[in-house]
Amino acid sequence: MVEILTAEEFEFMKASGDILKEVFRTLDKEIRPGMTTYDVDKIAHDIITGRGAIPSFLNYGEPPFPGSICASVNEEVVHGIPSKKRILRDGDIISVDVGAILEGYHSDACRTYLVGDVKQEVRDLVDRTKQSFFEGLKYAKAGMRTGDIGHAVQEYCEGFGYGVVRELTGHGIGTSLHQDPEVLNYGKAGHGYKLKAGMAICIEPMITLGRKEIEMLSDGWTVVTRDGLPAAHYENTILITEEGPVMTTYEEEN
């Protein structure tokens, strides 16, 4: 089902997104070598619940996801489970995917953070994954199609020789975390679902330094690159308006 939200509902979406902005502002300052992914999870959890919201991911799915964030380190593409045993080391990257429910409305976003001194080729991957989101965002307008977004992401990333994960996608969002339409990170311009004012979507490139193939670990959640090379992830919640896209989870960096 594709939801068409009202202007009032868009305000709820913005308020939910403001919470994730605070999470990311805090993690920008706090993430460092020696932390555990559990420590990162606790920071996000405390901010979300402290603002009167509910972590979207906690107990989501089957088996129930045990964290308030997905903490995916290095070759982990998505859905890494926070753990007191997983210590962040100098040179790591960590993708923090997080959602919040406020007044029944969801927000969902991800950032990939550098931990200490990271190799230049991996820093480039993180930067270009973020930029690929903005390449796709250019087409997040009423009347455009999801294939326009996916094509833009794919063309940009494959131009650097990166792998574009196929099995995991962006999505619609609103009163549920994941809903139609799928927003692929690859595809043909002019194809796919036509965007309409009132929709909310998440664009979320998941890009690998090597091959695009992935596999799931035995925990039933963590998805890793098959070749063991790093992956980066970047996401925002976007409102489709007559005036253009509005990101609820993004603020300009200083």
pLDDT digits (tens, 9 = 90+) for 170-225: 999 999 999 999 999 999 999 999 999 999 999 999 999 999 999 999 999 999 99
Q: Is the pTM of this model over 0.85?
A: yes
CB contact set of 72 (below 8 Å; sequence gap of 6+): 78, 79, 80, 94, 95, 97, 222, 223, 231, 233
Going by their DSSP bridges, the two strands 206-208 and 231-233 should be labelled as antiparallel
pLDDT > 70: percent of the chain: 99
Q: What is the pLDDT averaged over residues 123-142?
A: 98
Q: Per DSSP, which regions of 115-225 are E strands? A: 163-164, 170-172, 179-183, 200-203, 206-208, 214-216, 223-225
pLDDT of residue 254: 46
Statement: residue 244 has pLDDT above 70: yes
Question: Taking the domains of the chain in order of start, what are their residue ranges?
Answer: 7-244
Q: What is the pLDDT averaged over residues 113-137?
A: 98
- What are 46-68's pLDDT values in tens digits? 999 999 999 999 999 999 999 99
Asked whether the beta carbons of 224 and 95 are under 8 A apart, the reply is no
CATH topology of domain 7-244: Creatine Amidinohydrolase (3.90.230)
pLDDT > 90: percent of the chain: 98
Q: What is the pLDDT averaged over residues 116-122?
A: 98
